Structure 1
Amino acid sequence: MEDPSGSGGWRFAQCFGDKGEVEDITEADIISTVEFDSTGNYLATGDKGGRVVLFERNEMKKGCEYKFYTEFQSHEPEFDYLKSLEIEEKINKIKWCKRQNSAHFLLSTNDKTIKLWKVFEKSLRVVSESNHHDGQRPLPPPTVKSHLRLPRMALQDNIIAAVPRKVYSNAHAYHIHSISVNSDQETYISADDLRINLWNLNISDQSFNIVDIKPVNMEELTEVITATEFHPTHCNLFMYSSSKSNIKLADMRDSALCFEEEEDPTTRSFFSEIISSISDVKFSHDGRYILSRDYLSLKIWDVNMENRPVKTIPIHDHLRGKLCDLYENDCIFDKFECVWSGDDQNVLTGSYHNYFRIYDTDTLNDVVLQADKSAFKIKKIGGAAPGQKLGAKNGARPNGLKDMMALDALDFNKKILHASWHPKEATIAIAATNNLFLYSAA
């Protein structure tokens, strides 16, 4: 059956955040990372103001809906007096640790400092009766020993508390852009442009440098590390990508394998190196495949075949002719993330004008959706989803949003850089400037 909207069964479910116009947005409110936990019952966002906001699944609702759980200030702005540098409070990444007890543990990082947070429910108790009070009623002071009584505590309220259990600092000379928790739940890695460090979650004052690509002479610097991730099941394997368009799969016990595609010299241009720089890499949940994102495309690699990707998916080929403009406005340096679905059957990545695309990994059939404010206006009046609205204009047009994506009137200030996929369901969380959008598929 033809899907007239081109929405692939996806529908807008929820939106959190201020619904104002883009021009009025405070910089601190812009979402800089979004991450589901391993159960999908909790969702975390970090913003440029250093805040972490947690959402909890709303069990009262039938569908996959979330409600506000708690918010805390994770990082504050700092100043490095030695280097005369301001260190932003912006949260670059959040990673959940697997839940071991009733408390949640998650790692958050800004450019320089990683923190391990414990989030737990705590009951507040107050003194309900004592020698001087019975509830709110004052009592005369006891005159004889037998009138003395022990104070009694009563439950007043339950609150959600967030406390930093560990602070891992002073280990990176450059800006931290990636953290990844190992499958053993005991160690994690953190990466900046030139180094990757291995940490034990319980030891905050010591880390091991496991990758160092810093040249002796910095003038000879030709590449930087752009992303890193641990293998989902093998605790000795991890990978990292570079600005030189390659991915290295490394074994901490031995050596590294390099995934690299030969460049076609006929297509080489001034922008080749910039647009081929890999901005994100992700292992599939079974560890068999690697998903990588560069400026114009997504690539799926088989870990057993390092010379070329299994599939190359163009994301916004229509921008090839606009690379000069994108270089002028710095958009060519935007770092788009990519994610696998929980069953590894689909992949997702973002584009401009708040468009994002979901691809079937077998057929490469794709769905284009837009995280747009019209979504919740339409929901209020009971209309169609934004994809359906646009797709149905001038009759049924399966390429509704795809055609819109290629138009010249794209707003390059609106971009979908960060997203997360529910580990067990067809639900996705999309960060669109200062709003968090949730979409679900039937």
Structure 2
Amino acid sequence: MEDPSGSGGWRFAQCFGDKGEVEDITEADIISTVEFDSTGNYLATGDKGGRVVLFERNESKKGCEYKFYTEFQSHEPEFDYLKSLEIEEKINKIRWCRRQNSAHFLLSTNDKTIKLWKVFEKSLRVVSESNHYDGQRPLPPPTASTHLRLPRMTQQDNIIAAVPRKVYSNAHAYHIHSISVNSDQETFISADDLRINLWNLNISDQSFNIVDIKPVNMEELTEVITATEFHPTHCNLFMYSSSKSNIKLADMRDSALCDTHAKCFEEEEDPSTRSFFSEIISSISDVKFSHDGRYILSRDYLSLKIWDVNMESRPVKTIPIHDHLRGKLCDLYENDCIFDKFECVWGGDDKHVLTGSYHNYFRIYDTDTLNDVVLQADKSAFKAKKIGGPLPGKGAKNGQRGGLRDAMQLDTLDFNKKILHASWHPRENTIAIAATNNLFLYSAA
């Protein structure tokens, strides 16, 4: 079946956030992470203001639709008096723990402190009948034990409470950029630029340093850790990527300190294409295991790569994301955009991958055919939905002319609008896209 719109069946479903055209967006409202839980029934976002907002699937609706569930302040701004440093409240990552009872547990982190939150429904009870009054009429003090009356409580309301159960702090000298919960649901790792620590979820006052790439002399520093993730099924395996364009797979059974990796995925650089920017654009900003653990998806500044866990020498697929920016690297270096850290995600079926670009464009690829859909998280989507016009966010597939692919290559790109954070529903074709201070949801049949 030919898809005339080129949208690959994807359509705009919902948007949360300020729907008007706002020129000056409040910094605190910018979404800094987005994450579905393992069931897909809940969705969490964190923002630069330190808030976590949870959304719950609206079961009364036929499609995949979400409604506001609760919001809480996860982190506050702090000040490190020893180093004279302000520690931002911005939420860098949120990771859900698998649900074991009626409460939800999730980890959230800013640059220095990780917190384990328990989110649960709680009934508010109030005194409906006291032993001082009968309605409005005051009662005399009881003269016999038979006249004693106990106050009665009745349920007034259900509220959703968020309580920090554990605070994991003081373990990182540098900024925490990644956390990942192990498949055993007992441990998790946290990573900064030079170290990865292993924690037990129940123990907040100690962690084990399992990777340390800090040189004795900091002047000899040549690479930093950029992302880390546990294997989805083998609790002894994890990987971490570096600014030197490689991904290391480590096995915790080998030794306590996993500095010697089990595998290293790295592609040899072509010396003929080397330039001043080569090292910056080849730095990996995100890595993800496929759900079956067989493949690794990595994102650098200009491309996506899919690696087979059994082949270290080169990726199975290399997908260019915005090759048209190669000629603009000087400008992107000057406006600091070249240091943007784009995330990448696998579809629930491991057959599709998703990553973002500038001007609120994002792309979804079929991993077999590399056919892609270009979509745009655009506020005019609501207006079109209201008046019944054509929806923006309709893309163009490979081989089709026009559409958003051509628009994406124009010089009028707004580099302040970028899709850095996204999450894919684990079992359905529904994606959550963070576009500045808005959360967009798209669905495909």
The answer to whether the superposition gives a TM-score over 0.5 is yes
Q: Cα–Cα, structure 1 residues 238 and 256, in superposed 2: closer, same or farther, change >3 Å? A: farther
Deviation at 1:338, TM superposition (A): 0.1
Any conservation in 1 of the 2:236–2:253 contact (CA below 8 Å)?
yes
Match of 1:92 in 2: 92
Q: Secondary structure at the match of 1:308?
A: coil
Residues 33-58 of structure 1 show CA distances to partners (whole Å, capped at 9, x for unaligned) of 00000000000000000000000000
Q: Cα–Cα, structure 1 residues 117 and 425, in superposed 2: closer, same or farther, change >3 Å? A: same
Q: Secondary structure at the match of 2:227?
A: strand
Q: Structure 1: how far apart are the matches of 2:343 and 2:137?
A: 60
Deviation at 1:253, TM superposition (A): 1.0
Q: Structure 1: how far apart are the matches of 2:182 and 2:316?
A: 26
Match of 1:42 in 2: 42
Q: Structure 2: how far apart are the matches of 1:405 and 1:136?
A: 71
Q: Structure 2: how far apart are the matches of 1:101 and 1:270?
A: 53
Any conservation in 1 of the 2:55–2:69 contact (CA below 8 Å)?
yes
Any conservation in 2 of the 1:103–1:121 contact (CA below 8 Å)?
yes
Deviation at 1:393, TM superposition (A): 15
Residues 273-318 of structure 1 show CA distances to partners (whole Å, capped at 9, x for unaligned) of 0000000000000000000000000000000000000000000000
Any conservation in 1 of the 2:74–2:108 contact (CA below 8 Å)?
yes
Any conservation in 1 of the 2:96–2:107 contact (CA below 8 Å)?
yes
Q: Cα–Cα, structure 1 residues 308 and 24, in superposed 2: closer, same or farther, change >3 Å? A: same
Is 1:121 matched up with 2:127?
no
Q: Cα–Cα, structure 1 residues 146 and 65, in superposed 2: closer, same or farther, change >3 Å? A: same
Any conservation in 2 of the 1:176–1:193 contact (CA below 8 Å)?
yes
Aligned CA RMSD, in angstroms, stands at 2.1
Deviation at 1:141, TM superposition (A): 4.1
Any conservation in 2 of the 1:131–1:142 contact (CA below 8 Å)?
no
Q: Structure 2: how far apart are the matches of 1:256 and 1:73?
A: 36
Q: Secondary structure at the match of 1:34?
A: strand
Any conservation in 1 of the 2:179–2:189 contact (CA below 8 Å)?
yes
Q: 2:408 aligns with which of 405, 408, 411?
A: 405
Deviation at 1:353, TM superposition (A): 0.1
Q: Cα–Cα, structure 1 residues 137 and 89, in superposed 2: closer, same or farther, change >3 Å? A: farther
Any conservation in 2 of the 1:169–1:204 contact (CA below 8 Å)?
yes
Identity score, percent: 94
Per mean C-alpha deviation after superposition, the further-off stretch among 48-57 and 125-134 is: 125-134
Match of 2:261 in 1: none
Any conservation in 2 of the 1:249–1:256 contact (CA below 8 Å)?
no
Deviation at 1:128, TM superposition (A): 1.0
Q: 2:397 aligns with which of 393, 396, 409?
A: 393
Q: Cα–Cα, structure 1 residues 360 and 395, in superposed 2: closer, same or farther, change >3 Å? A: closer
Q: Structure 2: how far apart are the matches of 1:46 and 1:245?
A: 28
Q: Secondary structure at the match of 1:206?
A: strand
Q: Cα–Cα, structure 1 residues 110 and 127, in superposed 2: closer, same or farther, change >3 Å? A: same
Deviation at 1:25, TM superposition (A): 1.0
Q: Structure 2: how far apart are the matches of 1:36 and 1:392?
A: 27
Any conservation in 1 of the 2:6–2:396 contact (CA below 8 Å)?
no
Residues 98-117 of structure 1 show CA distances to partners (whole Å, capped at 9, x for unaligned) of 00000000000000000000
Match of 1:423 in 2: 426
Q: Secondary structure at the match of 1:2?
A: coil
Any conservation in 2 of the 1:278–1:292 contact (CA below 8 Å)?
yes
Q: Structure 2: how far apart are the matches of 1:40 and 1:393?
A: 27
Q: Secondary structure at the match of 2:197?
A: strand
Any conservation in 2 of the 1:199–1:206 contact (CA below 8 Å)?
yes
Any conservation in 2 of the 1:4–1:396 contact (CA below 8 Å)?
no
Deviation at 1:19, TM superposition (A): 1.7
Deviation at 1:148, TM superposition (A): 1.4
Is 1:341 matched up with 2:347?
yes
Q: Structure 2: how far apart are the matches of 1:430 and 1:240?
A: 24
Give the alignment's TM-score, normalised by structure 2: 0.96
Q: Cα–Cα, structure 1 residues 433 and 134, in superposed 2: closer, same or farther, change >3 Å? A: farther
Give the alignment's TM-score, normalised by structure 1: 0.96
Deviation at 1:137, TM superposition (A): 6.1
Q: Cα–Cα, structure 1 residues 77 and 140, in superposed 2: closer, same or farther, change >3 Å? A: same
Deviation at 1:139, TM superposition (A): 3.9
Q: Cα–Cα, structure 1 residues 396 and 338, in superposed 2: closer, same or farther, change >3 Å? A: closer
Q: Cα–Cα, structure 1 residues 363 and 80, in superposed 2: closer, same or farther, change >3 Å? A: same
Q: Structure 2: how far apart are the matches of 1:366 and 1:232?
A: 26
Q: Cα–Cα, structure 1 residues 219 and 38, in superposed 2: closer, same or farther, change >3 Å? A: same
Residues 2-60 of structure 1 show CA distances to partners (whole Å, capped at 9, x for unaligned) of 32221110000000001233422100000000000000000000000000000000001
Q: Structure 2: how far apart are the matches of 1:324 and 1:377?
A: 37
Q: Structure 2: how far apart are the matches of 1:108 and 1:134?
A: 49
Q: Cα–Cα, structure 1 residues 311 and 82, in superposed 2: closer, same or farther, change >3 Å? A: same
Any conservation in 1 of the 2:7–2:396 contact (CA below 8 Å)?
no
Any conservation in 1 of the 2:373–2:396 contact (CA below 8 Å)?
no
Deviation at 1:380, TM superposition (A): 1.1
Q: Secondary structure at the match of 2:232?
A: coil
Q: Structure 2: how far apart are the matches of 1:144 and 1:274?
A: 85
Deviation at 1:255, TM superposition (A): 7.0
Q: Cα–Cα, structure 1 residues 433 and 380, in superposed 2: closer, same or farther, change >3 Å? A: same
Q: Cα–Cα, structure 1 residues 359 and 395, in superposed 2: closer, same or farther, change >3 Å? A: closer
Any conservation in 2 of the 1:250–1:256 contact (CA below 8 Å)?
no
Deviation at 1:416, TM superposition (A): 0.1
Match of 1:245 in 2: 245
Any conservation in 2 of the 1:355–1:370 contact (CA below 8 Å)?
yes
Q: Secondary structure at the match of 2:102?
A: coil
Deviation at 1:392, TM superposition (A): 10
